Chains A and B, each alone.
Chain A
Amino acid sequence: MSAASALSKSASKTVPESTTPTADSSTLPVGQHGIKEHSDGRFGYVPVQTRSARFKSVNVADFEAVTGREAVWKHSPVAKFTDLTAGALDGSRYTVESTPSADVSVEWVPRTDARIGTAGLPEERAAANAWSAFDEALAVTVSGEEAKEITVTRSGLGTIARGAHTIIEAKPFSQATVILHNTGDARLSENVEIILGESANLTVVSLQEWDDSAVHLANHFASVGRDARLKHVVVSLGGSIVRVNPSVRLAGPGSDTLLLGLYFADAGQHLEQQVYVFHDAPRSRSRVNYKGALQGQDARTVWIGDVLIGNKAAGTDSYEQNRNLVLSEGTRADSIPNLEIETGDIVGAGHASATGRFDDEQLFYLQSRGITEEEARRLVVRGFLTEVVQQIGSPELEARLQLAIEAELIGTDDK
């Protein structure tokens, strides 16, 4: 699918028609060959093409009931989480464990906290539902120029439908890696705001190692200040339905982001990520690299990558790519890159998408060199995903992820 066609399709559905700049067909020059109303009745309708113009609201009532036909939902099994899009959510505190670290505070803050709503606002109903529901927000505040790492673990969310809100703020010139580690069961819709002050250097890892039954819908909104650098990593391994949608606004000149994703879907799993980078300042830079493996009946992944280079964003450099490795029959990987450019003065902008399969001929080749079938699969998957793992920058986490990937391979071999 071409970028342009994908974009116009998705954008046309999310914006109320009344706000669209519509050319009136009655003013068209007459007599020119070929100018006439199209038979589909939509001639003259110009969809709003800009990703940043999507409808936003923190109020769940402002969104229509989710049908599954909306651009943001059409790849998701919406019938399986109506409790999160239409039901009442429990927005109370939950148990959080975090590793102590100097210059990092983890605390609950009231809804009136000034930071809430500064990084982004919901664009769909589950996110607005969570926003309406949360009692207090969990705030992780990073200061101090020394590098440090902190892990925030949630393991006891249980099966009650929840709405949650998290703020991760990196003060100007601060530096840290924040790992959000998700385990256990959950039915969770949440918003995570990530705010980077001037020259901050922050890595945020959202690690989904949920139980097999968990449903997790997350929207991450990041705002990156002048000369700040955000590395954002989504690792989805466990859970029944996991949808983590990072949205990054490069708000300050010289801001920089690297968005990484790694996912391994096995039988029956739905893993989705809708990535959006908005270059809203000059000389900003972005790189997006998501890689996923699929194995087992009805293993399903979705990647949508939107990049918008705004008219203020001269001298930007961006590239996004998604790669999927299909290991067995019965899987489906959707990969939809969209690139929208409002200024001609850019250094670079590109995208790539490829979905390939590990096939019998590759297996034969490796086996003909003495390598067993099991080892051959491991070799290919590890090699494929390692590129992303190695860029995370946390040796301990990288080692753990290598083991987790091995476990995925072995776990699905049994099915």
Chain B
Amino acid sequence: MSVLEIKDLHVSVETDQGTKQILRGVNLTINEGEIHAIMGPNGSGKSTLAYTIAGHPKYHVESGSILLDGAEVLTMTVDARARAGLFLAMQYPVEIPGVTVTNFLRTAKTAIEGEAPPIRTWIKDVRQAMTNLRMDKTFAERNVNEGFSGGEKKRNEILQLELLKPKFAVLDETDSGLDVDALKIVSEGVNRAKANTGLGLLLITHYTRILRYIHPDFVHVFVNGKIAEQGGPELADRLEDEGYDRFLVPSNVG
């Protein structure tokens, strides 16, 4: 059974005002098949955690460790992390000019598997996954994210999640900017991926809305760069009622 462990992670970022500390000792263990929701107010460091796991060069790890089945992730290149089984569904996926969705998916799948997928089954898989996400066939020939609406970009992220079959996926604010219909479609995709591969999920969100469709096993409240409180799904309900105020009063003064 796979396990992703984050141990005492401290991360900073360079800004115009100098080095800014963002993560201040994050500890989190996710087992295969578990869904963890990380909830927190804006600026609490949720996205930094997501991008640090994926290896974005902007974030500087000062100390701590991220282990995937015991192997240190922090020393791996970005692409090596993906090949090891990590996936990040981004909040703002970028446009890739000149690269069609079809070409991109095949290249990514080939990179991750180490060999090209058998053509016949692959085309069938892609078509099926697109149909499931209510994506029009013409998507396949469009350039990645170019001219996509917000909802289309998010669906394209989940399409990749379903096809690349990672061991662990981080979903960074996947619910933001989605109307209720798109939110349902995207959530179905995530649930389908979990049912098919049993992956572990780290669901990063500001709102509890997506948790109506993707049911977390654990909820962590993220405040000021670390986990302030954790519990089961009931914690999300409490946040829905009370908001983040009770966490913010003591810790957000400076």
Contact = CB atoms under 8 A, between A and B. Distances in A.
Interface in B138-197: 143, 160, 164
A358 B144 CA distance: 13
A366 interface: yes
A382 B77 CA distance: 24
Contact of A368 (B78, B97, B103): B78
Kindly name the residue among A325, A362, A369, A371 whose own CB sees the greatest number of chain B CB atoms within 10 A.
Answer: A369
28 contacts: A358-B97, A362-B95, A364-B56, A365-B90, A366-B104, A367-B77, A367-B79, A367-B82, A368-B54, A368-B87, A369-B82, A369-B104, A369-B112, A369-B164, A370-B83, A370-B108, A371-B108, A372-B111, A373-B79, A379-B99, A380-B97, A380-B98, A383-B97, A383-B99, A383-B100, A384-B98, A385-B98, A386-B98
B97 A370 contact: no
Nearest to A291: B98
A366 B112 CA distance: 12
A381 interface: yes
Nearest to B112: A370
A387 to B, nearest CB: 8
Given A380-B97, A383-B99, A368 B88 contact: yes
A325 B88 contact: no
A360 B57 CA distance: 9
B128 interface: no
B253 interface: no
B107 interface: yes
Interface residues of A, number: 26
Contact of A365 (B93, B111, B164): B93
A385 B98 CA distance: 8
B111 A370 contact: yes
Contacts of A386: 98
Interface in B45-82: 54-57, 77-79, 81-82
Interface in A59-93: none
A414 interface: no
B94 interface: yes
Contacts of B164: 369-370
Given A380-B97, A383-B100, A372 B79 contact: yes
Contact of B98 (A360, A361, A368, A381): A381
A361 B94 CA distance: 7
B96 interface: yes
Given A370-B112, A383-B100, A364 B78 contact: yes
Q: Interface size class for chain B? A: 20 to 34
Contact of B57 (A362, A364, A371): A364
A379 B111 contact: no
Given A368-B81, A370-B108, A375-B111, 20 more contacts: A325-B98, A356-B97, A360-B57, A362-B95, A364-B57, A365-B93, A367-B79, A367-B82, A368-B55, A368-B82, A368-B87, A369-B104, A369-B112, A370-B111, A379-B104, A379-B107, A380-B98, A383-B96, A383-B99, A385-B98
Contact of A325 (B97, B107, B143): B97
Interface in B96-124: 96-100, 103-104, 107-108, 111-112
A381 B98 CA distance: 7
Contacts, number: 81
Nearest to B84: A370
Contacts of B160: 369
A382 B54 CA distance: 26
A380 B103 CA distance: 10
Contact of B79 (A325, A358, A370, A383): A370
Kindly name the residue among B57, B79, B90, B93 whose own CB sees the greatest number of chain A CB atoms within 10 A.
Answer: B79
Kindly name the residue among A356, A358, A360, A368 whose own CB sees the greatest number of chain B CB atoms within 10 A.
Answer: A368
Contacts of B57: 360, 364
A371 B56 CA distance: 14
Contacts of A384: 97-98
Kindly name the residue among B77, B81, B97 whose own CB sees the greatest number of chain A CB atoms within 10 A.
Answer: B97
Contacts of A366: 96, 104, 108
Kindly name the residue among B87, B98, B104 whose own CB sees the greatest number of chain A CB atoms within 10 A.
Answer: B98
A356 B98 CA distance: 11
Contacts of A358: 97
A386 B141 CA distance: 13
A366 to B, nearest CB: 7
A281 B138 CA distance: 38
Interface string A153-181: 00000000000000000000000000000
Interface string B211-237: 000000000000000000000000000
